[in-house]
Structure 1
Amino acid sequence: MATTTDRSTRTRVGDGVSAAAPARTDPTKIRSPRTFNIVAGIVLGVFAFLWLIPSFWAIKTSLVSNETASLGADAILRSTDPTLASYATLLQSGQIWNWYLASFVTSAGTVVLTVLFASMAAYALSRLRFRGRKLVFVLILAGIMIPAQVLIVPIFQLLDSFSLLNTYWAVIFPQVPAVIAVFIFKQFFDGLPKELDEAARIDGAGVWRTLWSVIMPLSRPVIAAVSILTFVTVWNNLILPLFVLSNPDLMTIPVGLATVQGSYGQRFADIQASAVLGALPLVILYLLFQRRIVEGVAGTGLKG
């Protein structure tokens, strides 16, 4: 005859319920997310602090007079009389407005063309089947390993042969073939269901109609992310505009800041004020669209 303990642990076939004790949850699996969040918060806090130090110093220096700034760090930190004289000097000179215009035109033009061509290339690599597709993708990714500085002389010679030097196109065209943009678009397209293409094909849509009417409307997060990342990259580019532009009216923000640093000499407050004004549009842009950037980059990890 079975004992009471045996009966309590026996499976009751009629009820289909097992009397066995439930498995215990590993306490380390509960604490691990909290530990990770704490460590991640500390690391991010350290990086944020290191990033804010030069930003604080630039703003602090720009709010003192050039005479105070020339006295050194102690005089800058002890200064309790902030002034906007450096900002007023830069804004009244009119140069920075030309820099803003040139940077905006080149950045916006590059964004439009990059999104257009990168999305088409990514769609072909993600959805179309043709011979050598994987090899083409590998060759495109290999472009990441080529430093941009190595291509400056060939790009300069090519632009000169087409008489494009000292034009906005000289800054826009070389930056349109963005490998990282193709990669981000392809990863996002890989995460979209293939049934979307099949449904569009059944309705009679071709490749172009499927891309522009079905895929692109669903790709707004990644379009926003690529647009913002491209805009920031072009806005901060110094080497290319420095080589292909010699007209002062066409100078972009980085080139203009370089000329300011060379011509202002010991006017450290004016130099820091110009740096703050040059970075201000990017800070505003990121604060307005930071959620779009996170959504777009995170969406590249989806798999269908």
Structure 2
Amino acid sequence: MSTRLSIASLGLVVLWSSGFIGAHLAAQVGWVTTLTWRFIVASLILVPICLAARIRVPRGEIAAQLRIGLFGQVIYLTGVFLAIDRGVASGTAALVASLQPLVVAAIAGRLLGEHTTGWQRIGLLLGLIGVALVVAHDLSGNAPLWAYGIVVLSMLSLATSTIIARRQRHGVHLLASLTIQSVLTAVVYVVASAVTGQLMPSGDGQFWVAVGWLVVLSTFGGYGCYQYVVRHGSATMASTLLYLTPPTTMLWAWLMFGDALGWLSVVGLVTCAAGVVLATRPISSRRASPPAAPAPSQPRPRPQPSADGGSTGP
């Protein structure tokens, strides 16, 4: 694993976890308005930078980036933020989201040619056990059952986005990708918040703290690292690293909100780490290689007239 990919992987774990903490902050000041202004601010920053860099994106790639943004940001974030607003603990939301590796690993072999080894499958299982231990005490919360179902749908949406992104073989600059997806999400949320009367931002300082947190740490940091790992690593690797987000989220919540961190969380953290070490081992690609081009046939020598008017050769 290259140094850049290692740094991006570490950033993915830490900064992706910040999104669940940001959802907790947003729930206190209005999650729809917070998400709306998160992407308004992000777009106002990204669009001028992207234009100044003169990054060109083919039309066909724009459509692909819109699909990635729809599943990876609009649907995924709506489900997570709504569930946390309805009482699902941030650690539990992170747990359900981290089940994505099982979905991606099951699909990647058929669609992407990424085949997991036996050790990697053991790592995936260890990761699942680890995240279950970390948030076991959260599963008895007071949130309605449908809220947990929404988190599951969000996880499936993120898995879909990951598969679409990994199948794109024509490289689009990461900045352009993030800009297109952020603008799409901003437009969707502006319309939704305007219709529901939640467009106007709050003058409360905590509101802008939540917006700044989500823009800098979650959008630019977490989602940027995620896209980098998907592009330069593998879909399974990026998804597997998300296994570390539930225990990391628990650490964030303990430091910021004083949430209890029990012995199950510590055991789960160690188990997750072991699972990720195994599951992020190099993945073999078994794509069917195109048939070798046939060797050019040697032209048969043209018959040369012989002295007696016949031909030499067979």
Same fold (TM over 0.5): no
TM-score category by the smaller chain?
A: under 0.3
Q: Computing the radius of gyration over CA atoms, which structure comes out larger, 1 or 2?
A: 1
Higher relative contact order (CA 8 A, sep 6+): 2
After TM superposition, the score normalised by the length of structure 1 is 0.25
After TM superposition, the score normalised by the length of structure 2 is 0.25
